[in-house]
Amino acid sequence: MNFDRQTVVVTGAGRGLGCAIARAFAAQGARVVVNYRRSRESAETLASEIGGLAVQADITDAAQVDALFTAAEQHFGSTVTTVVNNALADFSFNGDGRSKADSITWDQFDAQFQGAVRGALTTTQRALPGMRAAGFGRIVNVGTNLFQNPVVPYHDYTASKAALLSLTRTLAADLGADGITVNMVSGGLLRTTDASAATPDEVFDLIAASTPLQRVVTPEEFADALLFFASPWSRSVTGQNLVVDGGLVKD
């Protein structure tokens, strides 16, 4: 299915990386739903700019996700074909301020698992009836390279994304016969999003010096790579994890 026939829900698209992802899909002609939790003003501004629809929803809440998809279907007159699970539970990539092994709490782990795993499961389950009816579906989850290269040990965030990769692969195995692919795109530190705003410049410089490209990936570059898994060129690709970090991790 070409992009101009796709209706795409991008979770957490009101700011940061999600905003870049929404713009990338819209540039290819897709109908884009800009999901947000708190960033109403920026989400509505973005939706207006790209001809999309902004809808508030906490993706961990099944009732709110149902309302999100219903609004999308009514507005665009079509079922949702593509879901990008990008939303991030409140988190700051601040190595100096992170919770250490002897102080981190289970509540912090639970918050990240709720956002990453429960959120992706909730949106996927709501999307399945429409995708199955169409015989087509694309689910793309946003991950991290930190579980391959924990250069900064963000215990809770990294564990949740590792679990999301496992879910990506089990869903791919379960849904392939329905014409639905499930993949992940994993980034490193991006320059710059709201979540990475607390990262010192010297950390960005260190990462850039460690990559073959000698620079840190931008949200726009990451979003471009993500488009592949929703494009016709990935029709035989599922259960995969593409690392987009300038070559820092070679998986």
**Residues with active-site annotation:** 157
Q: Rounded to a whole number, what is the distance in angstroms from the first to the last CA of the chain?
A: 29
CA distances from 223 to 10, 142, 174 (A): 11, 10, 26
Please name which of 212, 206, 214, 160 lies closest in space to residue 186, comparing C-alpha atoms.
160
Peptide bond connecting 192 to the previous residue in cis, omega within 30 degrees of 0: yes
Tokens of 39: 């960033």
Q: Tell me how many degrees the CA angle 86-236-128 measures, rounded to the nearest 5.
A: 50
Question: For tokens 């708190």, what's the residue?
Answer: 38
